[in-house]
């Protein structure tokens, strides 16, 4: 060593190990801030051993404190004189040679000074020894022969296993200013003498360690795992880029195999670290997932509390949330069949509570009130397989309109009923219109047609019936998928307020079988009071056609010769009822024959009777101001009078060809006898078989009408008048709100002579059948009038003449459809076309109706009279559980045994046909067809119509 080295570096005795020369030096213990617990004697010894002035301060060595002798080794520079001295840890004087070859005395003081900062319990060289370099040590090591190190357990030693030595394994710690601390291990340390198993319980494998390795940048072997506080940590986690480590062995630069072996030895440690990292990653994911699951459960519980827990169950199958007014009805299988929101117009901030005792009813109903705004009564009626629920809203403040809305969902079936609408939609679920008063009208102008009934049915077995006293408005919004009922008075339809504030009252019934539900809701015996003559008239209308004498828009367009000529041409088609419109009078309301145009009408009618025809006159409750009966009715106060006026002032309106007419007040007890007397006089004089009652619609009443007795709504007028004239013999009526007594038919609205009019006729027949009108009289084949543009005013205000001869193809397709309807009505005759095709088609269809259709109509006549089932039905009435039957709107069935698929568009000779379950016989070629499937591109020639008869269930296909 040089002279410039500090005095604290004491050269001690040398010691030879395996042929190498080392110097001994004591363990350093000069770390700052390190204190140990000592006894009283040691404290006194420390006081006595205080250094003198000028001497360095040193603590007792480890050997002194533990009373053991420890060997101290120090490498001696070989360039110097090879002097080797051995010394022990006893406090005696020793000498060592410095770099100049001089002997330096070694202090005999037990407190030898070393550089501070060295690790405790480690054999470290003092800092500042520049002459000791690793490169010289490596070169010297290469010059000597190397004994290979064999793999052995970590508890082994570099010396022979049989040799016992009290000397610790030599370790040299070199402190260099630029490299930090470098530790050179010549054997296994105490940390490596661990015979315990690894963390997985497996016995540790022997590890091969080289004594040296080349200096590589940041290439230090991974340190073995240290176990601190029962937790494993890799030493490489502390310092991964150190040039020297206190536990890493130096690998020989010439041994690539030892490097690879070292890497392979570290691989299991890396795998364990990866496993721990993967395990930690999975734990984090699991914790995150659990966090979101808990958040979801909390949110779900919150929603369930507000929507389910707050929902109460009434009458076993009603679920009603009083706060949000969500209403649900369940079937026998606890499946939701209808849902909606009640009291839509009530604010959400209104809290409900049970009604006071004075407002409760004794019928077992539930009463709920919303803060003096509205009151709801719910009741339940158990009819075995049927469950009926009554809902009644009563407004408590002016301006509140009780409104309930129900969901229009395809999963919950399609809604039908209410009659026909302005858009002629097949189902109410396809309609889209704002709230409109529910009253009969002209579908060209008003929202609803001439046949109405407050009855709605769903294809899956839910029906709804609204009270006649409710001022009903209906709104259907397709975008919101809601079917809404509202109670609201107005200035015309519901001007006669039956209650001080609007009241919504209706009933909902459910069952598993839609067919039986329909029978329950529409069942009324049509046999009561029916005479044998009435049954014969009913059957004749089914078997024979109705002949409507074509006329122009004026009275002069009808005379006796036209009637006679028409009847002669109609004989070839068949006999039936000849209907003469209101032009048999000079003025509407005369109720006498115009002698000018019909001087011998009595004789003409006798001729028609001998030919086999039955003559029917058209009558109406309107009396023209030009008629002589108008003055008589005013004098007798038989007419409807103006509202808020004396009863002597009649209310006027328009009706067809009459621009000004009064209306008989049927609530006056003198009006009906006065009218029946005049009608009976006509029957007796002209031998008329019956009358066609043309009531117009509800909107044909005067706008400010007032009857002697209050009417619930305008349709009550047609209902009372029809029932009052049953004894006079009515063949058909133009408007109805209840099923008229047989043999009276309900006429469909006048149809335009276009392809659109053909489709509207089929839709009207099917919709009227659904709401309980089994006997429907379609319009004239080919159309009742012809208009090329849309209407903006009521057709019934003026008379439209019969259209000119329709297109031949349209007439043939219309005739094919009418062949399978409950009744056929002609205006233009097939002979007018002077076409062999039209004549041949008419004869073939006449044979089909007589041999096939009429037999089925008579067969299903009794079920219609008993149960209210229509003669002509939509396919979903055959199989309400078949989704395809719900969407088919251009097919129908006659009873349950005949499927008809007409052509309803111009120029088409093929179509898609769907047959319900079963085996069906094709009416065109006689082949058998299997049901529950579609027939695509089914060809239908111009002279044919597709129809299929159902075969017995045991038919072999």
**SS3 per residue for 66-120:** HCCCCCCCCECCCCCCCCCCCCCCCCCCEEEECCCCCEEEECCCCCCCCCCCCCC
Q: Which of 375-379, 576-580, 786-790 has the lowest mean pLDDT?
A: 786-790
CA distance 61 to 65: 6
Q: How far is CA 948 from CA 813, 817, 820, 927, in A?
A: 17, 14, 12, 10
pLDDT at 645 over 60: yes
Are residues 486 and 435 in contact, defined by beta-carbon separation less than 8 angstroms? yes
Q: What is the pLDDT of residue 137?
A: 56
404 lies in a domain?
yes
pLDDT at 571 over 70: yes
Tens of pLDDT along 162-220?
433 333 444 444 444 444 444 444 444 444 444 444 444 445 445 444 444 444 444 44
451 lies in a domain?
yes
CA distance 816 to 455: 31
Residue indicated by tokens 């659990």: 290
pTM for the complete prediction?
Answer: 0.68
948 lies in a domain?
no
Q: Tokens at residue 899, please?
A: 């499927």
Q: Tokens at residue 685, please?
A: 């004089």
Of the candidates 484, 459, 416, the one whose C-alpha atom is nearest the C-alpha of residue 763 is 416
617 lies in a domain?
no
What is the band of 842 on the pLDDT scale with cuts at 50, 70, 90? very high
559 lies in a domain?
no
Of the candidates 767, 687, 773, 676, the one whose C-alpha atom is nearest the C-alpha of residue 727 is 676
Tens of pLDDT along 440-457?
998 888 899 999 999 998
545 lies in a domain?
no
496 lies in a domain?
yes
CA distance 452 to 436: 13
495 lies in a domain?
yes
Give CA torsion, residues 413, 417, 422, 426, to 10 deg: 40
What is the band of 768 on the pLDDT scale with cuts at 50, 70, 90? very high
Q: What is the pLDDT of residue 519?
A: 77
pLDDT at 827 over 90: yes
Choose between 64 and 660: higher pLDDT: 660
pLDDT at 61 over 50: yes
Residue 573 CB neighbour total at 10 angstroms: 18
> Could you tell me which residues come within 8 angstroms of residue 502 by beta carbon, excluding any fewer than 6 positions away?
395, 400, 401, 402, 471, 487, 488, 489
CA distance 622 to 661: 6
Residue 288 CB neighbour total at 10 angstroms: 10
Tens of pLDDT along 691-737?
999 998 889 899 888 898 888 889 999 999 999 998 899 999 999 99
Residue indicated by tokens 């009252």: 505
Q: How far is CA 819 from CA 97, 491, 830, 848, in A?
A: 138, 44, 14, 8
pLDDT at 279 over 80: no
For the packed helices 628-636 and 671-686, what is the interaxial angle rounded to 10 degrees? 150
Task: Report the length, in residues, of the chain.
Answer: 957
Q: How many structural domains are present in the chain?
A: 1
> Radius of gyration over alpha carbons of the chain, in Å?
56
Enclosing domain of residue 472? 318-521
């Amino acid at each position: 060593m040089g002279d410039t080295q500090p005095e604290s570096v004491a050269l001690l005795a040398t010691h030879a190990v395996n042929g190498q020369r080392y110097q001994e030096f004591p363990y350093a213990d000069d770390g700052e801030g390190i204190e140990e617990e000592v006894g009283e004697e040691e404290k006194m010894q420390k006081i006595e051993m205080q250094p003198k002035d000028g001497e360095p301060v040193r603590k007792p060595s480890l050997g002194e404190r533990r009373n053991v002798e420890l060997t101290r080794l120090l490498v001696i520079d070989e360039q110097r004189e090879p002097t080797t001295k051995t010394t022990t840890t006893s406090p005696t004087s020793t000498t060592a040679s410095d770099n100049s070859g001089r002997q330096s005395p070694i202090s005999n003081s037990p407190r030898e000074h070393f550089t501070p900062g060295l690790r405790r319990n480690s054999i470290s060289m003092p800092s500042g020894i520049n002459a000791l370099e690793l490169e010289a040590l490596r070169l010297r090591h290469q010059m000597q022969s190397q004994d290979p190190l064999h793999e052995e357990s970590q508890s082994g030693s570099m010396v022979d296993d049989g040799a016992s030595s009290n000397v610790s394994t030599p370790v040299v710690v070199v402190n260099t200013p630029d490299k930090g601390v470098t530790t050179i291990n010549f054997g296994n340390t105490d940390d490596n003498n661990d015979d315990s198993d690894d963390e997985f319980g497996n016995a540790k494998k022997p590890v091969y360690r080289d004594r040296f390795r080349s200096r590589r940048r940041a290439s230090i072997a991974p340190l073995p795992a240290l176990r601190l506080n029962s937790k494993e940590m890799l030493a490489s986690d502390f310092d991964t880029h150190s040039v020297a480590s206190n536990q890493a062995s130096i690998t020989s630069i010439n041994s690539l195999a030892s490097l690879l072996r070292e890497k392979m030895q570290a691989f299991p440690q890396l795998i364990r670290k990866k496993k721990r990292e993967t395990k930690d990653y999975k734990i984090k994911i699991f914790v995150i997932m659990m966090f979101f699951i808990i958040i979801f459960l909390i949110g779900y519980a919150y929603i369930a509390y507000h929507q389910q827990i707050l929902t109460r169950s009434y009458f076993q199958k009603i679920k009603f949330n009083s706060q949000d007014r969500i209403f649900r009805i369940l079937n026998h299988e606890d499946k939701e069949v209808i849902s909606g929101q009640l009291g839509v117009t009530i604010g959400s901030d209104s809290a409900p509570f049970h009604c006071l005792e004075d407002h409760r009813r004794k019928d077992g109903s539930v009463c709920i009130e919303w803060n003096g705004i509205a009151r709801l009564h719910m009741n339940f009626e158990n009819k075995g397989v049927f469950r009926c629920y009554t809902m009644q809203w009563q407004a408590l403040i002016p301006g509140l309109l009780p409104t309930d809305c129900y969901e229009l969902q395809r999963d919950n079936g399609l809604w039908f009923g209410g009659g026909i609408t302005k858009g002629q939609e097949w189902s109410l679920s396809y309609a889209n219109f704002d709230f409109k008063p529910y009253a009969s009208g002209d579908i060209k102008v008003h929202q609803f047609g001439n046949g109405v009934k407050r009855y709605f049915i769903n294809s899956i077995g839910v029906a709804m019936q609204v009270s006649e006293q409710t001022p009903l408005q209906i709104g259907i919004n397709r975008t919101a998928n809601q079917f809404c009922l509202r109670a609201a008075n107005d200035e015309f339809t519901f001007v006669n307020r039956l209650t001080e504030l609007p009241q919504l009252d209706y009933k909902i019934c459910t069952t598993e079988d839609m067919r039986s539900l329909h029978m329950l809701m529409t069942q009324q015996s049509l046999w009561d009071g029916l005479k044998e003559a009435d049954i014969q008239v009913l059957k004749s209308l089914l078997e024979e056609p109705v002949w409507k004498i074509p006329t122009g828009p004026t009275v002069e367009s009808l005379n006796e010769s036209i009637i006679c000529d028409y009847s002669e041409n109609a004989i070839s088609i068949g006999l039936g009822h000849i209907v003469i419109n209101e032009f048999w009078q000079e003025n509407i309301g005369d109720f006498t024959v115009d002698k000018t145009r019909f001087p011998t009408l009595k004789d003409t009618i006798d001729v028609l009777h001998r030919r086999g025809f039955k003559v029917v006159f058209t009558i109406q409750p309107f009396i023209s101001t030009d008629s002589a009966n108008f003055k008589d009715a005013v004098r007798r106060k038989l007419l409807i009078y103006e509202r808020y006026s004396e009863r002597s002032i009649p209310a006027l309106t328009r009706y067809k060809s009459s621009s000004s007419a009064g209306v008989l007040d049927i609530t006056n007890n003198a009006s009906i006898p006065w009218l029946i007397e005049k009608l009976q006089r006509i029957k007796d004089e002209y031998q008329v078989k019956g009358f066609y009652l043309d009531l117009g619609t509800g909107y044909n009443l005067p706008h400010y009408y007032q009857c002697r007795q209050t009417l619930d709504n305008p349709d009550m007028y047609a209902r009372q008048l029809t029932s009052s004239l049953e004894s006079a013999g009515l063949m058909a009526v133009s408007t109805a709100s209840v099923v008229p007594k047989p043999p009276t038919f309900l006429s469909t609205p006048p149809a335009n002579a276009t392809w659109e009019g053909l489709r509207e006729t089929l839709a009207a027949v099917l919709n009227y059948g659904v709401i309980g009108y089994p006997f429907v009289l379609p319009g004239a084949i080919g159309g009742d009038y012809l208009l090329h543009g849309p209407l903006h005013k009521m057709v019934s205000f003026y008379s439209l003449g019969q259209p000119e001869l329709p297109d031949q193809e349209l007439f043939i397709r219309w005739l094919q459809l009418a062949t399978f309807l409950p009744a056929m009505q002609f205006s233009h005759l097939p002979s007018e076309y002077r076409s062999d095709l039209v004549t041949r088609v008419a004869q073939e269809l006449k044979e089909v109706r007589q041999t096939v259709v009429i037999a089925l109509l008579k067969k299903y006549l009794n079920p219609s009279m008993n149960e209210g089932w229509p003669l002509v039905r939509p396919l979903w009435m055959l199989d309400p559980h078949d989704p395809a039957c719900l969407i088919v709107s251009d097919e129908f069935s006659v009873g349950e045994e005949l499927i008809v698929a007409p052509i309803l568009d111009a120029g088409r000779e093929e179509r898609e046909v769907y047959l319900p379950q079963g085996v069906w016989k094709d009416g065109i070629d006689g082949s058998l067809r299997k049901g529950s499937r579609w027939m695509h591109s089914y060809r239908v020639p111009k002279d044919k119509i597709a129809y299929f008869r159902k075969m017995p269930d045991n038919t072999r296909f």
